[in-house]
Amino acid sequence: MRYVVWVSDIDECAASPSPCHVNATCTNTDGAFSCNCTDGFEGDGVNCTG
């Protein structure tokens, strides 16, 4: 017997609240997301200071 499971990608960036800092850009990827601080701010994207 053969099974096929299809799972759609969840857009974590569309979540409210965003998983990223207010001064960061969220980029949705297939199965994940990344956060990058915007210009003038530093950090890991979840925490940005500037």
In angstroms, the CA 48 to CA 13 distance is: 17
Q: What is the mean pLDDT of each run of 10 residues along the chain (50 residues)?
A: 78 94 96 96 98
How far CA 12 is from CA of 2, 32, 39, 49, in Å, comes to 31, 7, 22, 22
Q: Is residue 5 part of a domain?
A: no
Q: Is residue 3 part of a domain?
A: no
CATH assignment at residue 45:
2.10.25.10
Domain count, the chain: 1
Whether the ω angle into residue 17 lies within 30 degrees of 0, i.e. cis, is: yes
Q: Is residue 1 part of a domain?
A: no
pLDDT of residue 9: 83
Q: Is residue 4 part of a domain?
A: no
pLDDT of residue 13: 95
Q: Is residue 6 part of a domain?
A: no
19 lies in which domain range? 12-49
Q: Is residue 34 part of a domain?
A: yes
pLDDT of residue 16: 92
